[in-house]
Structure 1
Amino acid sequence: MNILEIFYKEALELFHKAGGSKEEFYWLISSMLVRYSAYKEELEIRRKLMDLIVQEVEGKILDAGCGLGILTFRMALKDEVKKAVGIDSSCELINFCNHLRNRITEKAEFLCGDFLNGEVNGKFDCVVFLYTLHDYEPEPFLEKALKILRQEGRIIIGDFDINGAREKVKAFAGKNGLEIVKDITLGRAKTHEGIHEAFLITARR
């Protein structure tokens, strides 16, 4: 059974335990499926970004803004990864992820908290931001990442170039002596009320 199948079965079980009815299930699923054609290209690119990030990581990883934790689990399952820590401000999602650790891998760990303003213990070989920075000014998040990054560690950003995010990331790297070892474009998709280019940047200390 793959990660998505485990997530689906566990989420469906929680839905039923919470008293969700068949009608509510159909309503939830229909409301998402009817929008799929409009978001298909964006979702495909986000999956490609996830695949590329998994290829990039090794050692001890922090997944900032991990959401459902699918990327965190995928990174943790990689042989070259010792531990993958996901952090997110949604405690409901984090509790769900921690519930799944013994089903998938205990090399993944999940913390409920604010990455930017909270305490993150330890040092990491990679700090990952997937579809996280586009709504914010990247600099404070990247500054926090530098504080917890080991020497020769890497910051990996996969996102859409919204509000000049790509150039802001590159400007931060230049200002802080980081070497950009990967800077690739994955195509364009409709997202956030516009057509935006997707990118992956890996910056090494």
Structure 2
Amino acid sequence: MNFNKTKGYKENSINFFNRMAEKNHGDSYKHYKTVLSWIDYKTERDILDLGCGKGELLKQIEVRLNSYKIDKKFKISGLDISPNMIEKAKNNSEIEFKVGDSEDIPFAENTFQVITCLNSFHHYENPEKVLKEIHRVLKNEGKIIIGEININDFFKKLINRILPYTSNGDVRIYSSNEIKEIFSQEGFVFIKEKFIFPSLKVYLFKKQKRSS
């Protein structure tokens, strides 16, 4: 355990995931089946994955989009703060992958119909800023699908006390109610949630339509 926090959460996240790019790390794949089932590939064809890692989820999405032989083109993109992860993701792929920060998403307003974010939200030092950016780049009534750790309050509080002294870039573990409250405050409507493992949950929110 590294008790030196002088580098900050973002730099720690970059360094941690640059190292993990060479390994099989994490359990985001446990979210995939549910996330993939919550996308309508006939109509929702502009998709962004935040914290995309090596791009495994987007590559599965690409296969499903290609299976529908319709004229409408699709745009799928991945964003990750780790250059090494993006380098791995780009191998043998036509998907657009970018190195970048979720606090400053490098896409225009109203670009995407669906944004996915798996096991990344607890790395965000400024979650409200990230959600403002997600809201900006999502089309009206667009979806945000988030997969996150879900543990009881005792262990959550214990882990959150320890996290500031670790070096992997984790900022905070949230309860279900905290996630719903943060998203609601930033203009998202809660649609549904699902446990996909005793300690993992997937949430679906929609961007609230702005009145003209």
Superposed pair shares fold, TM > 0.5 = yes
Q: 1:119: Cα distance to partner?
A: 2.4
State the alpha-carbon separation in 2 of the partners of residues 128 and 75 from structure 1.
11
Change (3 A) 1:96 1:47: closer
Which residue, out of 102, 105, 109, partners 2:96? 109
Unaligned runs of 5+ in 1: 1-27, 33-38, 189-196
Which residue, out of 34, 41, 64, partners 2:50? 64
- TM-score of the superposition, structure 2-length normalised? 0.63
Structure with greater proportional strand content: 1
State the alpha-carbon separation in 2 of the partners of residues 97 and 183 from structure 1.
28
State the alpha-carbon separation in 2 of the partners of residues 93 and 119 from structure 1.
17
Letter of the structure 1 residue corresponding to residue 148 of structure 2? D
Counterpart in 2 of 1:186? 196
Q: Higher Cα Rg: structure 1 or 2? A: 1
Letter of the structure 2 residue corresponding to residue 174 of structure 1? S
Counterpart in 1 of 2:7? none
State the alpha-carbon separation in 1 of the partners of residues 194 and 142 from structure 2.
19
Higher relative contact order (CA 8 A, sep 6+): 2
State the alpha-carbon separation in 1 of the partners of residues 32 and 50 from structure 2.
13
State the alpha-carbon separation in 1 of the partners of residues 104 and 75 from structure 2.
22
Q: Does the 8 Å contact 2:51/2:117 carry over to 1? A: yes
Written as runs of structure 1 = structure 2, the 5 A alignment for 1:143-154 is: 143-154=132-143
Change (3 A) 1:176 1:140: closer
Change (3 A) 1:135 1:97: closer
Q: 1:177: Cα distance to partner?
A: 4.3
Q: 1:128: Cα distance to partner?
A: 0.9
Q: 1:170: Cα distance to partner?
A: 0.4
SS in 2 for 1:86: strand
Letter of the structure 2 residue corresponding to residue 159 of structure 1? E
Which residue, out of 177, 201, 204, partners 1:202? 204
Change (3 A) 1:91 1:151: same
Structure with greater proportional helix content: 1
State the alpha-carbon separation in 2 of the partners of residues 99 and 185 from structure 1.
32
Counterpart in 2 of 1:120? 107
Unaligned runs of 5+ in 2: 1-21, 151-155, 157-172, 208-212
C-alpha RMSD of matched pairs (Å) = 2.6
